Structures are given as C-alpha cells and as structure tokens.
A = this chain, B = another copy of it.
Amino acid sequence: MSERSGLLNGAPYVAGLENARGLHYGDGIFRTMLFAGHQWHDWDRQIDKLAQDGRLLSLDIPDPGLLREEANSLVEGLEQSVLKILLWRRASGRGYAPVGREVDRLLLCYPAPSYPGECWSQGVVAFSSPVSLAPQPRLAGIKHLNRLEQVLASRDWPDGVQEALMFSPEAEPVCGTRTNVFWAHAGCLMTPRLDRCGVTGVMRQRVLDLASMLGIPVDVGRHPTTSLLQSDEVFLTNSLIGIWPLKALDSHRWPAPGKLTHSLMRTLAHPQLSGPH
C-alpha cells in the first residue's frame, strides 16, 4: 500500500493501520497487569488467560518469554506501573474473514492508578448501569477488544461512584465495567456464571481459588438481582485493585468490608495502590 492510499488526520498515515484488525473490527484480546513493589502480579495467570482467550478466538499468542522480556524493558527502573498487552490478528486486505492466527502485539505502560486508601478500608459505591450486556455465548468470558458496551456504561456516572454494575437483559447481575462482582449469603460466596456475557477476570479466578483453599462454599450461577441485594456483603475484583468492598449500590448499603471480604482481602495480600507516586 502506497503512502497516498491512506490519511490519518489528513497526514500520510502510519503504515500498517490498513491491516490492523484490532482497529477495524476489534479482532483481538488484551490484558491489564499490575507491576508493583518491583514485581509483576499474577504474571503466569495473566499469560494463561491470554492464551485461553487466544484459543477461543483462534489467535496464536506470542512466546511468553518474549512478552516478559518486553514487559520488563518497559518497567525498568519503575516501582509500579500498569502494563496493557494488546494482541490483534494480523491481516492482509479488507474483509471480515480471518485469514490466519498470527497476531501483532502492542505493549503499553501507563502510570499505576492512584486510589484513596478508603476504597479498600471503607469500601466503594457503585450504581446500577442502565446499559445491559447483550448475551453472546461465543464471546462470553473473553477479554476481547469489542468494548463499546463498557464505554456506554462508563458515561454519566453520579458523583462519588467508583463503578457501574451491569446486568443481563433478564436483570441478573453480571459484572462491573472493569470489575467482577461477588457477594455472600450466610457464609456462601456467590458470583455470576459468565457463559453468556461478561469477562472472566484473573482476579475473579484467584478469589475462587482462595475460597476453595479457605473452605468457603461457592455458588457460581445465574443469580437474580434479589440475591445480590439481600446479601450480607459485596465486593468487586480486578487485577489492579485486588478486592474492593462494596458499601453501596444505588440505595442499598452493606457493611464494608464484610467479614468474608475482610478474610479474603487479608489472604490475598494485594498491594493497595495509593497515590501520589
């Protein structure tokens, strides 16, 4: 493709964008990973999940050793950082049909987010998003690059809110825009099964594994909203925050952190990112 065949904001465009299926279709996957205390958190789990998502979309992921080497070069000399790995199918030409499994890879380093310590010690506030998640079993669980629903659900948050909780069209809780959600009923941990929509986060799996290790019964299923609202305690998870107790959803309030949440937080021993850095 010659220089004259593309313009980015009116200037000769960056070679490769005509084939970047990540941009054209969102035909790719990503990971958001924490580097804190001079170390990668859950590196192996993250790469395993990347490989699993890759298999589901027929994408070959790069050699994990190479990814680690490149990631290390980006955080050299930093104490903490957030790494985003994006992989998208390499293509030749126009058209939806995927022609191979090879990917381009983009590793980006961002400053670690800075949250007040109260997010962990006193919990956060969420609200119920009016944006439902469309059920698409073929893409459920995958952290892919089609994230317009999350973009729509991240608009117009009320003041003081740190997350929007998203529901299925049948009004079952699914997940937050960037977190998974858990709640507890009489010592039993509940979380939505994510086989119709939602992302199966690495921290969600870690919490499930921790619960198993601690002998906490777990119910992963299609739970109605009433199950969540009538629960004893609620928390949110992702790889950057670890666990955030939820103290309020709309007009509902919970103790934060609850007993089970507190126990899981202590066992997890996740770094609390608090600024400034």
Residues of A within 8 A of B (CB): 4-10, 13-14, 16-18, 20-27, 30, 57-58, 66, 70, 73-74, 76, 82, 84, 86, 88, 93-98, 104-110, 113, 131-132, 134-136, 138-139, 144-155, 157, 169, 177-178, 197
With beta carbons under 8 angstroms apart, the residue of B6, B74, B144 that contacts A106 is B6
Closest to A145 in B: B26
Query: Nearest Cβ distance between residue A34 and chain B, in whole angstroms?
Result: 13
A158 to chain B, nearest CB (A): 13
* B95 engages A5 (CB within 8 Å): no
Contact A25 B145 (CB under 8 A): yes
Are A96 and B5 also in contact (CB < 8 A) when A18-B108, A106-B13, A106-B17 are?
Answer: no
Q: What are the residues of chain B within 8 A of A177 when measuring CB–CB? A: 96
* Contact yes or no, A95 B154, CB < 8 A: yes
A7 touches B110 (CB 8 A): no
Q: List the B side residues contacting A108 at CB < 8 Å.
A: 5-6, 13, 17-18
B148 touches A144 (CB 8 A): yes
Residues of the B chain whose Cβ atoms lie less than 8 Å from the Cβ of A154 = 95-98
Kindly list chain B residues whose C-beta atoms are within 8 Å of the C-beta of A66. Answer: 10
Q: How far is the CA of A150 from the CA of B5 in the complex (A)?
A: 25
B107 touches A146 (CB 8 A): no
**B147 A107 Cβ-Cβ under 8 A:** no
Residues of B with C-beta under 8 A to A106? 6-9, 13, 17, 23
Question: Shortest CB–CB separation between residue A182 and chain B, in angstroms?
Answer: 21
| Complex interface: chain B residues within 8 A of A70 (CB) | 7, 10
Question: Chain B residues near A155 (CB, 8 Å)?
Answer: 58, 97-98
10 contacts between A and B (CB under 8 A): A5-B108, A6-B106, A13-B108, A25-B150, A26-B146, A82-B94, A97-B155, A98-B151, A145-B148, A146-B146
